[in-house]
Structure 1
């Protein structure tokens, strides 16, 4: 089934994504508060010694330090080889335009966690991508898609550009629901940090809007 119409997939910049990401950008695209909460979310939701793939990544996966979250492997995917090569957490990486070819370069059922940070807004073929995510995920695994209100506006799909933050969370949830076998997505807006008093979350200016989903633990859920 299709979640988006052809018009909703359109971008203002119709040029090559490969050309757009040709030069490395060694910068963070969201603020420190967002990243601290995202790292804590990874720490609490990804099991130690997992196999992980980081989609649409760059020089920093925002995963906890190895001592805080030891992992068996981390496969990186992105659009710029120099950025990927600079990421110290990757066991290996590959470069691919997911809008040209939504396939994920992994065998079936080979990872315990799929993460994607602030890139879902650029995905023009999300239905195929989420089928691929489900294919490579082991039963009981977790998917964490994080995003904010920041973006390369000309490269975001039309549907994303027209939605509010709540609407974007609903859209990503629909991407999950479109694939038979995922559990109901969970939308997380703030993540308590160790040592923070509960009331401190009310002062966070940058909203975190993470959507998580897991496949059913029974292998029979994969129809």
Structure 2
């Protein structure tokens, strides 16, 4: 079965199909959205991730944008660059893995109380398979917070992302979740800093793991 189910394969083509490990080989110690948009991500995490819980930061890097005043029991990162992950002060542990090559997550069922994908969902070539795995490793009713802006590495973003506007991106991520199954209470949010146009926009799709 195609991991993206009924979504056409050409939607997931990219301008640069060289191995992602090569592209992410050198660390990038930068934030990919500006400070007001980062603050909007952090506020979402305040709202959805409870203190003293176990979180999975998927497609992680050197910063997780978690609220600094909130203690979490455990934060695990999964990303592409070992130097970035080692530099992330919020991570208790991390895994280096290319989700476009291996969508199976190396975690137990119901291991986490929440998960985040920050400004990276546009790079997934097997998003449905990845979201199925996320549903497996989250506990019932655990939140998944997927955030994105209008910025990306153009050569590595999938064709569908380039073809759609911001509202289309929200609808596409919702379609991924629906195709993956295991998710409910899907919210499409515009958390762009105000007034418009003075900073990067910020959008989010939030879903919860269906209870067993």
> Taking structure 1 as the reference length, what is the TM-score of the superposition?
0.90
Aligned position for 1:93 = 94
1:55–1:76 CA contact under 8 A, matched in 2: yes
Aligned position for 2:140 = 139
Mapped pair 1:43 → 2:55: no
Residue segments in structure 2 that go unaligned for 5+ positions in a row: none
Matches within 5 A, 1:110-189: 110-189=111-190
Partners in 1 of 2:84 and 2:6 — Cα distance? Answer: 31
- Whose Rg is larger? 1
Q: CA RMSD in A?
A: 1.4
Partners in 2 of 1:152 and 1:180 — Cα distance? Answer: 28
In the TM superposition, structure 1's runs of 4+ consecutive aligned residues that sit over 2 Å from their partners are: 200-206
2:173–2:205 CA contact under 8 A, matched in 1: yes
Deviation digits for residues 61-112 of structure 1 (CA, Å, limit 9, x no counterpart): 00011xx211110001110000000000101001011000011121000001
1:3–1:174 CA contact under 8 A, matched in 2: no
Aligned position for 1:6 = 9
Residue segments in structure 1 that go unaligned for 5+ positions in a row: 192-199
Matches within 5 A, 1:61-80: 61-65=64-68, 68-80=69-81
- C-alpha spacing 1:204/1:47, structure 2 compared with 1 (3 Å): farther
2:56–2:112 CA contact under 8 A, matched in 1: yes
Instruction: Report how many residues are paired.
Output: 208
Moved more, 181-190 or 18-27: 181-190
